Structures are given as C-alpha cells and as structure tokens.
Amino acid sequence: MVAISLPDGTVRQYDGAVTAEQVATDIGPGLLKAAIVARIDGVLADLRLPMEQDANLEIITRQSDEALEILRHDCAHVLAEAAKELWPAIQVTIGPSIEDGFFYDFSKEEPFTPDDLEKLEKRMAEIVDRDEAIERQVWDRQQAIDYFKSIGEHYKAEIIEDLPEDEPISVYQQGDFIDLCRGPHLTSTAKLGDAFKLMKIAGAYWRGDHRNEMLQRIYGTCWRNKKELKAYLFRLEEAEKRDHRRLGKEMDLFHFQEEAAGMPFWHPKGWTLYGTLQRYMQRRLDAGGYQEVKTPQLVDRSLWEKSGHWEKFREHMYTTESDERIFALKPMNCPGHVQIYRQRLKSYRDLPLRMAEFGACHRYEPSGALHGLMRVRAFTQDDAHIFCTEDQITSESKIFCDLLMSIYKDLGFEDVHVKFADRPEVRAGEDAVWDQAEEALMTALTATGLDYTMNPGEGAFYGPKLEFVLRDAIGREWQCGTLQVDFVLPERLDASYVGEDNSRHRPVMLHRAILGSFERFIGVLIEHYAGRMPLWLSPVQVVIATITNEADEYARSVAADMRAAGLRVEMDLRNEKIGYKVREHSLAKVPVIAAIGAREAEEGTLALRRLGDKRQDVVTLADAIAALSKEGSMPS
C-alpha cells in the first residue's frame, strides 16, 4: 500500500506505485488539466514519476509561479527541438528558464536571421500541436556520452562528462528529440500552450567564458496564456518610454556623441539635476561627519604601480605623457585619499576618519559595455574612504548602511537589493584576514536588518563588499551603492596611525559610495520616475505660461518673485494657445504649469496645474510661493 498525503490533509491509498498524474485524475479532470508538475516530499518532479512509497504530494497547477518556470523551461526545449528539425546540423547546448522567459544557446555555422525567429516560432507551434509525449529516461553515463557524440552533440557530451560521478543522467524525449536535462518537465508539448514568443538573437560564450567559442543565443518569453503574454509585451513597450536615453533627449538633459563615446555632455537642465543631487549629497555627507576633499585628475604611473592598479587595470586606464613621464587619468580616488591621509601623523584619536570626494574618474571600458549613463567612460563617483580601526569596521559599516538607506528613501527607492560579495578566487591578502573582513561586514549587514542575497566570489580583489543594486525600467540590475572592506591598500600605500599603545598600526579602509556614480544613479533615477522627478529634483520646477500677451508683465513679476524665493522658473510668453503650451511643457515633464491670463493678472493669482492632472488650482501668488518653496526644497 502506498499512502499519498495531499496538502489539504486528505490521504489517498493505492495498491502499488502511483503517479501524480494518476492522483490528479482521481481527484478530478479540472485538476488534471491544470496540473503542470508535482511536488513530491518537497521536491519538484514529473507528473508521471512513480511514487513507490508513502509520500506528501502537491500538484502544482498552471497558476503557480513554479509552473511558469516549468513552462518556460519546456518552451526552451521545444525551441531546441524546432531548431534541430530546421537545421539538423545544429548543436544544442543549454536552455534554462530565466526571468520572464527563457533562452537556448546553439552552435551553428550560419548566424540566425530575424526571419529564422519566425520560422522557429511557427515550427514550435507545430510541435505543440503534435502533442508529443515528454518522457524521462535515466541513462548510463557512458551510454549517454556515446549517444550524444554519435549524433554530433559534442557540447552535450561535454556537459555529461563534467557532471559529478554520482549524478544520475536523465534525458527527456519528445518526438524524435532527446535532450539531456535534469527536469522536471510537462507530460506533453501540448501543455505548453501558445503564449510564447521569440524575442531576440544574441551571442553568448560557451560556459560564459570569453576564451571559448561564441554560441548563438535565442531569447524568448513564455506565459501561461495569451493575455499574460500580451500584458508582458505591453509592459515592455511602456518601459521603453521610460528609457533614460530617450528621456534624456526628450527632456534635453544630456547627449553623447561619437568624438567622446561613453562621456556625457550635460545640458543645462541635466546639469541642474546633477547639481541639485550633488548639493543634497554634500549636505547629507556633511551631517554624516565626512570631510570633503579634491585630488588630482592626472597622477604619475608610479603611484598606480604602488597601489597595484597599474598591474591589474593598465589596459583600462587612460594615460598621457609629459616631460617623459607617464601619467594616468585617475580611474579611482582611493590612492589619492591615502596621500591626504598620510600628510600628517595620525592618531587613533583621529579615527574613524571619513574622507569624501566627488571624484571624476575615467576608465577605458570595453566598447560593448557602454550603455547610456549606466556604463560610461567618464563619471563622477560620490566616493569616500573611511579610515578606521578593525574594531570600528562593524559600527562604521552599520552607520553607512543606515545613511545609504535613508538617502535612497529620499530619492524614492524603498526596495533595494543588497548583495554580499565574498572572496574571489584571485585575491590579495591572507585567508585569515579575509575571514576577519567578511565576518565584520556580515555582522554589520545583519545588524542593519536588511534582506540580502549572497554573491559568491564577486568581492573586490582586496576585500569583501556589499552591493546595493537598483533596477532600470526593463528590470536590468545596476550596482549603485557599495561598501568594501580593504586591508590591502593601507599596507601597499603605507597608511598608519599611532595607537593607544604608542606604536604604529595599519588602519582599515572602507571604500564606499552611495550613488555609485552620479551618471548611473541619474540614469536609474530618470527611469524610476519616468522623467517625472519630484519637485525638489526637477530641473525646471515651474513654467509660467501666459494665455494672452496682456499677462506678460504680470508673468515677469511672478517669475521674479518665485526666483527670489529660490524656485527654478521658466517663462513661456510665446504667442501660442494655452493648450499648446500645456502640451509642450507636459511632454517636457515640468511638474507645475502656472497659467496666467487677464483674470489672474487682475486678481494677483495663478492657475496651477500639476503634471498629468487635469484640474487647476487657483491660488494667490504668495500662497503658491509658500507651498511650492516648501515642497521644492531638498529633504534634510
């Protein structure tokens, strides 16, 4: 007897081994139809996997998130089957589900064309219509390797060869297509449905290593039903409208051009936004006990050799020669800050010493890495280094995290993804030092109570780091804030302090940035707000738009009064209809339009209209200035 316990507490008895599919059938046709996969004793498995002993069973239906992942994974398999049918010589490699969809990497002589995507989609639909049963088989390791080699699937054979010895080799067959896969999968291709779409062709290195050959990756999206697919495609379209590169142009904030690839030209409005953000940061850092400094852009290579950056990053540094010496444009501020630190003998009483700089850095980033403001070659970090004792690491880290979260909140970011990146394979420093650094940082992170995920092996070469990650309009992740513990640089650049015991000690350096770079953060900020910045950050806070020329003089005096109150104001006295002006300034994302005509001029009022709002609010000039100044001043 086999007893199958279901989530609602009921237990079903069977004479012998039974499959989840059978149980679902017994419960009802509705459940069977919706069933995607089973969870047997907490582990996801095929619906047709026989349960030979008592088990806890949960039928995962189409509605669940886990089912969606299975659908996407299956969709990848169907794509691979379609590709094999259309191009028999193609080699299939891997095809996992990912956020919103899946991809599959192929090795193929001729590149895929956009037309191929249509052909593939059509063939995939046919495979779904064929209702091919998807069957799991467990093969002998060598048999599997031989089989995949015999059909020319050398990548598959390589994957099996690299699997742990004790791992069972499971393959899935649908129609004539057999693929190595851990599963689980649907019972049939028909269950996939029709809510999928191939999105784009890309290149990707085999096993993610740039020394390997480049495969052709096809990305697709897959959903439970057409309605969800349509909603997703609509969401993408909407997100495109928030792209900071597009808004940067539309709102006249910045531009790029060929002669300075990866280096933004900030226009007046963009620079106003930048400046406002910088003043805000200055205020917060000042209140946080930081001292602001400024270090040289060009520094002799010898300093970079000492710091170790020359050896590791020389290819990515801009250099210039003068007086037969080689100078590098600074790619970072740390060595400069250590020079300032070293200028006077420091005591333990000086620590923690928090040294901040809005440091303009240049890095020759690989051409393929450039991406609007998010990844540039010239950028300004809101950088700071905290020189402290080992005992102070945890408390300083905690203080920093709190400051960062408070600033992010002011800037409209409530949910921040925190990652803890620990020791990389190639690193400087003893393991004991790493143990200590990681533990101190982890203690601080735990103390903040923030949720985090691990990012194994992704720490800096000199120490572990926290990454504060924000997302852009289409969900791409960008690291903005960071906190790094460093025992190495103080040693290399000989920073020290005199301790209570009257002998010399090495301080620890905490590298930290909150925005990361002004460029990237502003890029994220624009997308986050879809260009509709809060009043205090808006480059233009109010446009005074006249309805007729008769109001011109009043408009000028209103503008003067508002400017005197510190508001950023523009006037629109053009001979255009008010509807035209409203449209234009709305498209430019100006938060407040103050319309004035003869009536307002007469009464000393303004007709205020908030961006996107149909209503207008007629208020006196004095009230308007009081309210807007309050709302428009930066958070403190």
Q: Would you count residue 3 as binding RNA (CB under 7 A)?
A: no
Residue (81 or 105) nearer to RNA, CB: 105
Burial (Cβ within 10 Å: 0-12, 13-18, ≥19) of residue 411: buried
Give me 368's structure tokens. Answer: 């393929």
Q: Residue 236: what are its φ and ψ, rounded to 5°?
A: -65, -45
Contact with RNA (CB under 7 A) among 598, 620, 622, 623: 598
Token pair 């010239």 in the structure block, residue: 378
User: Interaction with RNA in 214-243: which residues (CB under 7 A)?
Assistant: 214, 216-217, 219
Residue 154 among the catalytic residues: no
Residues 443 and 395 sit within 8 Å (Cβ to Cβ): no
User: Interaction with RNA in 254-283: which residues (CB under 7 A)?
Assistant: 256, 258, 261-262
**Distance (Å, whole) CA 504 – CA 414:** 43
Residue in 123, 156, 197, 511 annotated catalytic? 511
CB of residue 541 vs RNA: minimum separation in angstroms? 16
Q: How far is CA 499 from the centre of its chain?
A: 42
Residue (92 or 178) nearer to RNA, CB: 92
Q: Would you count residue 630 as binding RNA (CB under 7 A)?
A: no
Residue 383 among the catalytic residues: yes
Binding residues for RNA, total number by CB under 7 A: 75
CB of residue 419 vs RNA: minimum separation in angstroms? 12
CB of residue 578 vs RNA: minimum separation in angstroms? 4
CB of residue 390 vs RNA: minimum separation in angstroms? 21
Residue 381 among the catalytic residues: yes
Residue in 222, 334, 361, 388 annotated catalytic? 334
User: Interaction with RNA in 170-199: which residues (CB under 7 A)?
Assistant: none
Residue in 191, 354, 363, 581 annotated catalytic? 363
Residue (226 or 249) nearer to RNA, CB: 249
User: Interaction with RNA in 56-115: which residues (CB under 7 A)?
Assistant: 111, 113-114
Residues 131 and 105 sit within 8 Å (Cβ to Cβ): no
CB of residue 258 vs RNA: minimum separation in angstroms? 4
Q: Which residues contact 80 (CB under 8 A, 6 or more apart)?
A: 92, 95, 104, 106, 177, 179
Q: Would you count residue 429 as binding RNA (CB under 7 A)?
A: no
Q: Would you count residue 163 as binding RNA (CB under 7 A)?
A: no
Contact with RNA (CB under 7 A) among 227, 230, 279, 476: 476
**Distance (Å, whole) CA 586 – CA 613:** 10
Is-cis flag, bond preceding 464, omega within 30? no
Contact with RNA (CB under 7 A) among 63, 291, 320, 549: 549
Which x/- pattern, by CB under 7 A, does the window 296-335 give for RNA? -------------x--xx--xx-------------xx-x-
Residue 511 among the catalytic residues: yes
Sheet with 378-388, strands from edge to edge, namely 291-292, 353-362, 378-388, 508-517, 477-486, 465-471, 417-421, 452-455
**Distance (Å, whole) CA 624 – CA 339:** 50
Query: What is the dihedral angle through the alpha carbons of 117, 121, 126, 130, rounded to the nearest 10 degrees?
Result: 110
CB of residue 141 vs RNA: minimum separation in angstroms? 27
CB of residue 503 vs RNA: minimum separation in angstroms? 30
C-beta neighbour count of 249 within 10 angstroms: 13
**Distance (Å, whole) CA 307 – CA 335:** 7
How many angstroms separate the Cα of 67 from the Cα of each of 72, 183, 253, 319?
Answer: 9, 12, 44, 54
CB of residue 90 vs RNA: minimum separation in angstroms? 14
Does residue 526 sit in helix, strand or coil?
A: helix
Phi-psi region of 432 (alpha: psi -120 to 50; beta: other; left: phi over 0): alpha
Burial (Cβ within 10 Å: 0-12, 13-18, ≥19) of residue 322: exposed
Q: Would you count residue 582 as binding RNA (CB under 7 A)?
A: yes
Closest-CA residue to 83 (of 48, 56, 123, 118): 123
Q: Would you count residue 576 as binding RNA (CB under 7 A)?
A: yes
User: Interaction with RNA in 369-388: which residues (CB under 7 A)?
Assistant: 369-372, 375
Give me 466's structure tokens. Answer: 């926290």
Q: Would you count residue 453 as binding RNA (CB under 7 A)?
A: no
Residue 346 among the catalytic residues: no
Q: What angle do CA 585, 591, 597 make, to 5 degrees?
A: 60
Residues 78 and 27 sit within 8 Å (Cβ to Cβ): no
Q: Would you count residue 365 as binding RNA (CB under 7 A)?
A: yes
DSSP 535: T
Q: Would you count residue 10 as binding RNA (CB under 7 A)?
A: no
CB of residue 297 vs RNA: minimum separation in angstroms? 14
Residue 194 among the catalytic residues: no
Contact with RNA (CB under 7 A) among 275, 553, 599, 622: 599
Residue in 156, 197, 385, 505 annotated catalytic? 385
Contact with RNA (CB under 7 A) among 11, 287, 587, 626: 587
Residue (191 or 465) nearer to RNA, CB: 465
Which x/- pattern, by CB under 7 A, does the window 29-48 give for RNA? --------------------
Residue (262 or 632) nearer to RNA, CB: 262
Does residue 434 sit in helix, strand or coil?
A: helix
Residue in 91, 174, 216, 381 annotated catalytic? 381
Q: Would you count residue 368 as binding RNA (CB under 7 A)?
A: yes
Residue in 72, 123, 284, 465 annotated catalytic? 465
Residue in 383, 422, 472, 486 annotated catalytic? 383
Contact with RNA (CB under 7 A) among 88, 210, 323, 344: 210
**Distance (Å, whole) CA 601 – CA 624:** 14
Closest-CA residue to 429 (of 453, 461, 454, 400): 461
Q: Would you count residue 595 as binding RNA (CB under 7 A)?
A: yes
User: Interaction with RNA in 481-540: which residues (CB under 7 A)?
Assistant: 484, 511
Q: Which residues are catalytic?
A: 334, 363, 381, 383, 385, 465, 511
